[in-house]
Structure 1
Amino acid sequence: MATTLDSVLTAPWVSTPSDGVPTSETLRLQHEAEQVISSLLTEHLQASVDPLLHKDSHSTYLTRLLKVPLPKHFTGLDASRPWLLYWTMHSLALFDGELDTQAKERVVETLRHCQNPDGGFGGGPGQISHLAPSYAAVCALAYVGEAGWKSIDRQGMYRFLMSIKQPDGSFIMHDGGEVDVRGCYCALTVATLLNILTPDLAAGTASFIASCQTYEGGLASSAHPFSQDPSHPAPLGEAHGGYAFCAAASWSMLRVFSDTASPAFAEAPIDLARSELDVRALLRWSASMQAMPIEGGGFRGRTNKLVDGCYSWWCGGLFPIVESLLSERAAGSDKDGEEDEEERELYDRKGLQQYITLVAQAPAGGLRDKPGKPADAYHTCYNLSGAASAQHKPRVSRRLQRELAEAFVSPFAATVVDEDDSSSSDDVEVVRGEGESDEAAEVRMREVWSRSLAWQPRPGAKVVYGDAANELLPAHPVFNIAFPAVRATMAHFYAQPGPL
């Protein structure tokens, strides 16, 4: 775990040692990054003022992306329109900001043109359905409210997800596309939020995810199970922060089916992973990704790579999920568990906020990868998401999960059936797996609902670096959507009056 900046004020910051190769481009860039970051840290020490997260300038930057015609160089993001909406809306939500009614209507209309008749969303109008913009579109519409929720074709989305599901449990990103563990995350998040996470959709995916874990403990984009070289039984890919987060979050969502203590497992025991995820190895790798004090306490995404603000979320956001998986061993006890756990810090939460506040803020608004890089919506979103996670330290409350499960209202009792049409209202329509009974579907939905909404900020664990005004709203650590939007969205799609 990295050492906090405050604890090394009286000691010299130590640069990365040379590997003896003076022409090494990687080492040169590393030393350049260390020099510019340590200079910013020195300026802060000399200023002797509480660091400030400049929310007003960042909000202005984000709002401009939504309201002002974008420069022509944004044409390179033509296939990322849903992403631009999500990154912007989520960042504003962490500032406790919200779009006005007219702006929300524009979001719905834009995404309506990205939704395809055969299900799923493309990156822009007329583009093929793709898992990544489908995730971004659903997350953006979660912030819109009822008009956004009702614009989503759930049945079409389910058909799309099932059409790209592979026999080994993985997902391809689009028709004819590549296998990528990020696809698992996008598919499972969408399915969880929209109440279409069936046993059929989840079958085999936990085993695929476990197969992506590398010798370092992190996870790669995919596995290579058909390698002919017996000396390389592990995946040949490289452990990476983005893949690791998507894999761990997916594994967490799949515990509905793979955890033997889950009531849904008894109904459909289809996904006991052939190999388990080594959570402790993942923890070791994740902690090793936090940078040295001379780099400001941020995270790098891969071994021996430069620190980058987006990994504030992809690596920093891993720790609540890892901690929840580590604490599952107490889930079967009569005690709530989390209050009895010894308080532990798995990474330097304050150090991460220092990087975001002192290093990642761009002077003109927005947040960036590192000094010398321009601000953009992507890095603004994931820097802020990492800061919010570090501030609030979200965790699963088993007591809240039990209360939610007990309060769950049967969706079949809430279904309104048209006498002229045997199908129910789409707002509460139950999507079943093949051969799944009403009883099994209800058990499964109750378990997904209660597990998803049992996350909350850890009481008494809040740590805000710098000025008190730097505090952000907490976000759900699996979906990366602000808690109120998650609760409201899932209440709609699970036909519930609302969580406790």
Structure 2
Amino acid sequence: MSEKLLVNEHVAYVKDLFRHPAYLVHFMAEHLKMNALYWGLGTLFLVNHTDEFARDEVIHFVLSCIDESNGGFGAAPNHDAHMLSTLSALQVLKMYDAIGEMTSEQRQGVIRFVKSMQLPDGSFQGDQFGEVDTRFVYNALQCLSILEELDPSIVDPAVDWILQCQNFDGCFGMVPGSESHAAQGFTCLGALSIANALDKLPNKEILEWWLSDRQVDSGGLNGRPEKLPDVCYSWWVLSSLAMLGKLHYIDGKKLQKFILSCQDAEKGGISDRKDKEVDIYHTFFGIAGLSLLGYKNLRKVDPIYCLPVDVTSTIKKYPYP
């Protein structure tokens, strides 16, 4: 077990994954391609290896994934648009300071797509097939925030719906009445933060304690009571506590040790738990968690946007003057 972050090994892991993307191009995983691109490039940006892939090639690929039928981004070329891939696409473009490289028509198409996914009750569906989830409210508000196109007609009903998803234990479910889950806590707090509406959150203290209770004896964090720890919750839980100003509610040193114990010292990458198979998802969110903990030589990550702080500092904050 390494007691330090194996930056070179993780960079090599990400580069090899995209050079030889056996599972990424497999038909079972193609729907994750845009998300995987964001996770991989996000990893490289946080460890200050921003030039490992040609900027123009990345931007060309992202723009090639626009669904011409409705303006959103698909997970890969010729895929239907979805809120998840649309946000990942905009996050990648924002990291490369390339939002302005979309044409006016492309930009307006994305805005129309995102706004068209909002339902009368304020919630958002992920695509034309109608799945509703707090994730998609967060997706929508971050997309429109990056494009600086938020407005009260979208934000106010979305905030009202998010608040209906908070449970008696303080955390949030996927929809009103659903079981509390730490990842949904992040999406709801992120949406409220983007909307500048955290002050509307009731039961804040209960939520803070629910989140802090996610730390187990190993130092890792879980997503729900009585579940095993998982490296990805080093982001979902920790970012939520950061937004609430309560990072000190967990033992950061024990969590850091847990994350570092899940590295593969030979091929790079981070797994969900020690000695398990690594993947790009846990690699990114593990390193993002370390960044929130102030790990040395990592770029500071924004707990709301899950992008480097120096990237999000250029986004105009809502409400606009």
TM-score above 0.5: yes
Mapped to 2, the partners of 1:313 and 1:156 lie a distance apart of 31
Matched with 1:253 is 194
Aligned-pair distance for 1:80? 1.4
Q: Pick one of 56, 66, 83 that aligns with 1:115.
A: 66
Matched with 1:304 is 226
Mapped to 1, the partners of 2:186 and 2:118 lie a distance apart of 20
Secondary structure of the residue that 1:76 maps to in structure 2?
A: coil
Q: Are residues 1:485 and 2:311 paired?
A: yes
Assess if the C-alpha contact under 8 Å between 2:87 and 2:142 holds in 1: yes
Q: What letter is aligned with 1:79?
A: H
Kindly tell me: are residues 389 and 253 of structure 1, through their superposed partners in 2, closer, same or farther at Cα, counting changes over 3 Å?
Answer: same
Kindly tell me: are residues 201 and 154 of structure 1, through their superposed partners in 2, closer, same or farther at Cα, counting changes over 3 Å?
Answer: farther
Assess if the C-alpha contact under 8 Å between 1:142 and 1:149 holds in 2: no
Q: Pick one of 281, 295, 298 that aligns with 1:472.
A: 298
What does 1:263-274 align with in structure 2 at a 5 Å threshold?
none
Assess if the C-alpha contact under 8 Å between 2:115 and 2:140 holds in 1: no
Kindly tell me: are residues 128 and 351 of structure 1, through their superposed partners in 2, closer, same or farther at Cα, counting changes over 3 Å?
Answer: same
Aligned-pair distance for 1:105? 1.6
Q: What letter is aligned with 1:131?
A: M
Aligned-pair distance for 1:277? 3.4
Secondary structure of the residue that 1:303 maps to in structure 2?
A: coil
Q: What do you get for the CA RMSD once the two structures are aligned?
A: 2.1
Q: Are residues 1:222 and 2:156 paired?
A: no
Matched residues, number:
312
Mapped to 2, the partners of 1:65 and 1:197 lie a distance apart of 36
Q: For residues 32-57 of structure 1, what are the alpha-carbon distances to aligned partners after superposition, in whole Å with 9 as ceiling and x for unaligned?
A: xxxxxxxx6xxx8xxxxxx2111110
Mapped to 2, the partners of 1:290 and 1:61 lie a distance apart of 28
Mapped to 1, the partners of 2:46 and 2:81 lie a distance apart of 29
Q: Are residues 1:171 and 2:119 paired?
A: no
Mapped to 1, the partners of 2:140 and 2:82 lie a distance apart of 10
Q: Are residues 1:323 and 2:245 paired?
A: yes
Aligned-pair distance for 1:149? 3.6
Aligned-pair distance for 1:173? 0.7
Mapped to 2, the partners of 1:317 and 1:168 lie a distance apart of 27
Secondary structure of the residue that 2:29 maps to in structure 1?
A: helix
Q: For residues 200-236 of structure 1, what are the alpha-carbon distances to aligned partners after superposition, in whole Å with 9 as ceiling and x for unaligned?
A: 221311121111112222111111xxxxxxxxxxx1x
Secondary structure of the residue that 2:248 maps to in structure 1?
A: coil
Moved over 4 A (4+): 71-74
Q: Are residues 1:241 and 2:197 paired?
A: no
Q: Pick one of 47, 50, 55 that aligns with 1:104.
A: 55
Mapped to 1, the partners of 2:54 and 2:277 lie a distance apart of 26
Aligned-pair distance for 1:151? 2.2
Secondary structure of the residue that 1:315 maps to in structure 2?
A: helix
Matched with 2:285 is 382
What does 1:371-410 align with in structure 2 at a 5 Å threshold?
371-391=274-294
Identity of aligned residues (%): 27
Assess if the C-alpha contact under 8 Å between 1:108 and 1:151 holds in 2: no
Mapped to 1, the partners of 2:227 and 2:24 lie a distance apart of 31
Q: Pick one of 200, 208, 212 that aligns with 1:283.
A: 208
Aligned-pair distance for 1:177? 2.1
Q: For residues 96-143 of structure 1, what are the alpha-carbon distances to aligned partners after superposition, in whole Å with 9 as ceiling and x for unaligned?
A: 11125x622221121122112222111122222111011111111112
Mapped to 1, the partners of 2:196 and 2:312 lie a distance apart of 19
Matched with 1:76 is 28
Q: Are residues 1:185 and 2:138 paired?
A: yes
Long gaps (5+) in structure 1: 1-39, 45-50, 224-234, 260-272, 325-343, 392-463, 465-469, 492-500
Q: For residues 338-375 of structure 1, what are the alpha-carbon distances to aligned partners after superposition, in whole Å with 9 as ceiling and x for unaligned?
A: xxxxxx82221222111111x22123200110024211
The structure number with the bigger radius of gyration is 1
Kindly tell me: are residues 175 and 281 of structure 1, through their superposed partners in 2, closer, same or farther at Cα, counting changes over 3 Å?
Answer: same
Secondary structure of the residue that 1:316 maps to in structure 2?
A: helix
Q: Pick one of 130, 140, 151 that aligns with 1:198.
A: 151
Mapped to 1, the partners of 2:21 and 2:215 lie a distance apart of 38
Assess if the C-alpha contact under 8 Å between 1:57 and 1:366 holds in 2: yes
TM-score between the two structures when normalised by the length of structure 2: 0.91
Assess if the C-alpha contact under 8 Å between 2:65 and 2:77 holds in 1: yes
Mapped to 2, the partners of 1:323 and 1:487 lie a distance apart of 19
Q: Pick one of 157, 161, 171 that aligns with 2:114.
A: 161
Mapped to 2, the partners of 1:59 and 1:386 lie a distance apart of 17
Matched with 1:127 is 79
What does 1:401-420 align with in structure 2 at a 5 Å threshold?
none
TM-score between the two structures when normalised by the length of structure 1: 0.59
Q: For residues 177-204 of structure 1, what are the alpha-carbon distances to aligned partners after superposition, in whole Å with 9 as ceiling and x for unaligned?
A: 2110000111111111111111122131
